[in-house]
Amino acid sequence: AMSKSAVKISSDLLSNPLCEQEPAFLEMVTAFDTAMKRMDSFNQEKVRRRGDRDSNLYFLLVIPALNMAVKRREQTLQDYKRLQSKVEKYEEKERTGPVLAKLHQ
């Protein structure tokens, strides 16, 4: 996205009326535009080459890890809700020694 933005900026500079008035400015902007297009082409090729290998690696490594993290979070949330309901139950009961001990626990 960054190299695409740089190409857009260089194209916008080329269409600037100042380029028509100043040959030196036109030469600099043309060189800049050429460099940005080369950089974008290089980046796109690199992304295409790495895309297949990295996407497979991504699906093999990252997605299962995310699924496990979501499962752990869901389990922890269920445990928290279960324990929270126990706490609320003990808080509603009469304040006796065993109830206070369980509440503290």
From first to last of its 105 residues, what are the pLDDT tens digits of the chain?
777 888 888 888 888 888 888 888 889 989 988 998 988 888 887 766 665 555 666 666 667 777 788 888 889 999 999 999 988 888 888 888 888 888 888
pLDDT of residue 79: 93
pLDDT of residue 81: 93
pLDDT of residue 22: 86
Is 39 in contact with 9 (CB distance < 8 Å)? no
pLDDT of residue 76: 92
pLDDT of residue 57: 64
Distance CA(27)–CA(57), nearest Å, equals 44
- H or E element in which residue 28 lies: helix 23-57
pTM to 2 decimal places: 0.43
Q: At 5, is the secondary structure helix, strand, or coil?
A: helix
